[in-house]
Chain A
Amino acid sequence: MPSNWGYVLAAYGIAAVAFLAYWRHLARRARALAARRAAKARAA
């Protein structure tokens, strides 16, 4: 039975990238919303 570590690393690597990308996407949206809120508060 070959070790197949390449397949294992590929699967976990893709999962890590997907989770980090989603986390960053949420963080960016939260920051953008906070900035819009602050701008709205300043304008009011």
Chain B
Amino acid sequence: MTRALGWVAALGLAAGLTAGFGYAPREAVQGNVQRIMYLHVPAVLTAYLAFGLVLLGGIGYLATRRMGWDRLAAAAGELGVLFTGLTIVSGSIWGKPTWGTWWTWDARLTSTAVLFCVYVGYLLLRRLIEDPDARARYAAVVGIVGAVNIPIVHFSVKWWRALHQPSTILGPERAPIDPAIGLALFVNWLAFTLLFAYFLSRRMEIARLEEQI
């Protein structure tokens, strides 16, 4: 099942690359550098999903004390850091030719960096505590508190005056983008979600085996 999911994710990524580089047109204002958005936007949406699952896993563990919830939270936390890291790096690479700088202390960028650091801390905490029950309990609390950052990151462009543009995909209004660009974003978002599901499944299986040995 997991292997099949991996192949589907690989096909999805190939379709995403085709959509982003072969189907979507060159953006009129930004030029080719806008194609980084087919990586940047799906990466941040996948990171939101991952941290949402950390929250769910934490609540589930505290409510039931079943280790399966903790495995879900641990695996999703690791992947959330991976996808947030990619979000920051791809955004920085896009920012240099577009804004003229690799980094600025804009509200969206800063809150995303804080989100990244909080979940790196979450993973470090998990490594520091040896007792599985105590680790799951403390990690659940950090995972739940850390989730407060998700709406802060998402709405930071509305709450503060920011250089970063407002949300295009998860915004309140209909996305003002060309349908071909919208489709390429959708295909890449789907591919990233499939890749996330594949990695999550494998990581949770490894965690289950580690508990057995």
Least distance between A18 CB and chain B CB atoms (Å): 6
- Distance, CA A12 to CA B40, complexed state (A): 10
Partner of B31, one of A1, A11, A15, A30: A1
B90 at the interface (CB under 8 A from A): yes
Chain A facing B: main interface SS: helix
Interface presence of B33 (CB below 8 A): yes
How far is it, in angstroms, between the C-alpha of A9 and the C-alpha of B210 when the chains are bound? 38
Q: Is the interface of B mostly helix, strand, loop or mixed?
A: helix
Which residues does chain A contribute within 8 Å of B213, judged by CB atoms? 33, 36-37, 40
Partner among B36, B89, B195, B210 whose Cβ is within 8 Å of the Cβ of A8 = B36
The number of inter-chain residue pairs (CB within 8 angstroms) is: 66
- Asked if B96 CB lies within 8 Å of chain A CBs, one says yes
Q: Which residues of A contact B82 (CB under 8 A)?
A: 18, 22
Residue of B nearest to A13 (CB): B93
- CB-CB under 8 A for A4 and B202, given A14-B90, A36-B213: no
Is B85 touching A33 in the complex (CB atoms < 8 A)? no
Interface residues on B, range: 20 to 34
Interfacial chain B residues near A7, Cβ < 8 Å: 33, 36, 93-94, 96-97
A14 touches B31 (CB 8 A): no
Task: Mark each residue of chain B from 1 to 23: 1 if its CB lies under 8 Å from any CB of chain A, else 0.
Answer: 00000000000000001000000
A30 x B202 contact (CB < 8 A): yes
Residues of B within 8 A of A14 (CB): 86, 89-90, 93
Q: Chain A residues near B30 (CB, 8 Å)?
A: 1
Q: Does B35 contact A (CB under 8 A)?
A: yes
Interfacial residues of chain A within 7-28, with CB under 8 A of chain B in the complex: 7-8, 10-12, 14-15, 18-19, 22-23, 26
Q: Can you give 15 A-B contacts (C-beta < 8 A)?
A: A1-B31, A3-B32, A4-B97, A11-B94, A14-B89, A14-B90, A18-B86, A22-B82, A26-B199, A26-B206, A33-B206, A33-B209, A37-B209, A37-B213, A40-B213
